[in-house]
Amino acid sequence: MSNPHKFIYSLSLAISLHLSFATIQAPATKLNAAPLPHERDSKDFNNGEEVVIPPSATRFNRRPDYREVEKQKKVDELEAQKRADEAKKQAYDASARAQQQQVDAYHKQAQVAVDANNSAVALGKQGRWMEAIAAHEKAVQYDPRNKQFRVNLSAARTAFGQQRMAGKDYSGAASLFRKALSAAPDNGLAGKMLVECMKKSGLDASNAEVRLSVGDQLAGANDFEGAAIEYQAAMQLEPSARTYVKMGDMAYRYGQITTATNWYRQAIVKDPQCGAAHRQLGFLALAQSDNTSAAASLRKAVILDPKDVAAGQQLVEIWRKQVAANPLLAENHLGLAGALQLTQDFVGAESSYRKLEALDPKNLGLEAGRASLGRAYQHAKADKHKLASTTLYNQGLRREALAEINQAVMLEPRNAEYQFLLGECLEANGDYQNAHQAYLTCILIDPENNKEAAARMKAMQSQSGMTAQQSGSMAKQIANTITSGGFGQPIAAAPAAAVQQQAQPSAPAQQAAPTDMGAPRKNMFEGGSGSPSLPSTMNFRTHDEMDAAQQAAPTVAAAPGIVQAQPAPSAPTDNLSKVTACEAQKDYNGAVTILRQLLSDNLQNPDIHHRLAVNLMSSGEISEAISEFRIASALNPKQKAYAEDLARAMSIHKRSLSSDGAGVPQ
């Protein structure tokens, strides 16, 4: 190092050392100013207002990687599985405890039942039957599935019944025998003793009606167990629609809805005209809130039995609720009007029709409904005269009865029931000729259901001195009158004044089997639809098919007093050819028109009546077709095919009456 440099270095070192010593020896300067404010001085950490400042995100706050996530997931799954297994084990243990408790309870009940049965057997051996029966009932109550207990109960009741029967307590014995059969239906001894007991009580146990009557009495006394036994016995003697309804009622009472429904449906299959079965089905549907089915069934019930007050009231109630729910819907007022009409509330029905007219003056059902209401009112008026006539006739007031039935016949000349009563009144007043005519008219209107009228007509023919030829001529005249659509001459003359027949058609709403001779087609308020649908094949024979059958047909006896009508000359061939052409083209209305023209000049030809009836059936005019079938059968009763076709037509008509019509709540 050169000298200048050494000098500079030495000088610098000396200065540094001097300054260092000066600093160490210098006293510190004291600050007299107040310190600066700090946040901790103004913060009260005891009042809970401290704020935790989250750490700021740095590069060290990273997310866990996938390995850590998977590991944590497995840990969570294992924990969840462990908890699920623990819960399942607890549930299983609880179920096992519950099952064990049920088993213990069952064994306990079974032991109680066994003890009660053993006690009952011991009591029975001592002749203490009332106590034995009570113990047997306890055994059955605790173990109802044990068949032997029920057999023992039945045997005890039978033995006690025999004891009662020996003491001539036939009523008490019969009750015990029925209870024995209820416990064990295959107890033949109980059944035999019940029959014997009823015989000693003066009852015919082999008569189904008697068994039904006894069943009704027991049901009225709340002995439903005994009533069910009697109904079952009646069903075995004579399985009728009424019996099926009773069986359904028993099932319904015990809450067996499906079984009850099946019984009611079997009753309808047995007898489609069973109004009680339709009513009960309606009540079942109503209980299940099915108003549509309920209204349809109740409507049928009221049509078939206008005196069924319960069905009528419930039907009206359904429609009133429909109107209350939607008073601006015209169809609801139409349905209510129909229900009121069926229950004979004509004033209420007319009021509903007025409301319907105010809502919908062009409603299609308004005109038909009011026309139906008019006919129903007319029939109700005629039926009042008929009931008055029956009452007077039973009181021996024959002339007054005749005056009343004349009024009914004037209102409804095509009512076979009215005609028969008219014949009875005329016969009682000594007018045998007119009585014969009334009976004959009754037969022509409804030949299937008036065998009694035929027998009475034969007696009247001999008493009036009428010849067979005169009777046959009268039959032709009445048949022509029916065919022409009205009664041109009085059917029977009253001693005081002649009966003037009206040509107004009738559609009795209160008859079980309505007569349709020339009557207007019924609408939904009178029990049938306006245009019933017909099956594709009805097996009605055409005129050509009748040729071979006519020659081989067996002889059928005519109604007493009716002379076999000789067929009139055949219709012109060209007109029949036109009819055949119309039938080939399925122009049944055209064929009907031609055949009606032919009948105007040839009213006594049964072939034309029959052919007209077949074409009317094909065109859907069932009521008019039945009328023509009846005329053809009356003019030629030997022709079996006419009667068969008439039966088919009436069967179809009955089905159409039973089918669902319009006016059902939707």
b/e per residue 124-153 (b: at least 16 CB within 10 A): beeeebebbbebbbbbbebbeebeebbebb
Residue 103 lies in a domain: no
Among residues 487, 512, 537, the one where a domain terminates is 512
* pLDDT the model gives residue 31: 56
Residue 652 lies in a domain: yes
Among residues 469, 497, 512, the one where a domain terminates is 512
> Do residues 579 and 507 both lie within one domain?
no
pLDDT at 598 over 70: yes
> Do residues 423 and 471 both lie within one domain?
yes
Q: pLDDT confidence of 593, banded at 50, 70, 90?
A: confident
Q: Which of 518, 517, 543 is nearest to 610 (CA)?
A: 543
Question: Which domain covers residue 640, as residue numbers?
Answer: 546-658
* pLDDT the model gives residue 211: 92
- Select, from the ranges 67-76, 477-486, 524-533, the one with the highest average predicted confidence (pLDDT): 67-76
* pLDDT the model gives residue 530: 33
Overall number of domains in the chain:
2
> Do residues 392 and 504 both lie within one domain?
yes
Measured between alpha carbons, how far is 450 from 237 in angstroms, rounded to an integer?
28
Among residues 460, 492, 512, the one where a domain terminates is 512
Helices (H), 143-288: 147-166, 170-183, 188-200, 208-220, 224-237, 241-253, 257-270, 275-287
> Do residues 493 and 594 both lie within one domain?
no
Residue 439 lies in a domain: yes
> Do residues 451 and 399 both lie within one domain?
yes
Residue 225 lies in a domain: no
Residue 255 lies in a domain: no
> Do residues 578 and 506 both lie within one domain?
no
Q: pLDDT confidence of 579, banded at 50, 70, 90?
A: confident
Lowest mean pLDDT among 74-88, 504-518, 579-593: 504-518
Residue 123 lies in a domain: no
Beta-bridge partner residues of 442: none
Measured between alpha carbons, how far is 419 from 388 in angstroms, rounded to an integer?
15
> Do residues 481 and 572 both lie within one domain?
no
> Do residues 502 and 551 both lie within one domain?
no
> Do residues 494 and 555 both lie within one domain?
no
> Do residues 442 and 563 both lie within one domain?
no
Write the pLDDT tens digit of every residue in 246-282. 999 999 988 889 999 999 999 999 999 999 999 999 9
Write the pLDDT tens digit of every residue in 37-73. 665 555 555 555 555 555 555 555 667 788 888 888 8
pLDDT at 606 over 50: yes
> Do residues 381 and 496 both lie within one domain?
yes
Lowest mean pLDDT among 6-15, 404-413, 555-564: 555-564
* pLDDT the model gives residue 53: 57
pTM for the whole thing?
A: 0.55
Between the CA of residue 261 and those of 211, 266, 267, 285, what are the distances in Å?
A: 23, 9, 10, 10
Residue 417 lies in a domain: yes
Write the pLDDT tens digit of every residue in 160-197. 999 988 898 988 999 999 999 989 998 899 999 999 99
> Do residues 566 and 497 both lie within one domain?
no
pLDDT averaged over every residue in the chain: 76
Higher pLDDT, 454 or 427: 427
Residue 505 lies in a domain: yes
Q: What is the CATH number of the domain that holds 493?
A: 1.25.40.10
Measured between alpha carbons, how far is 614 from 649 in angstroms, rounded to an integer?
9
* pLDDT the model gives residue 37: 63
Mean pLDDT across the stretch 364-390? 89
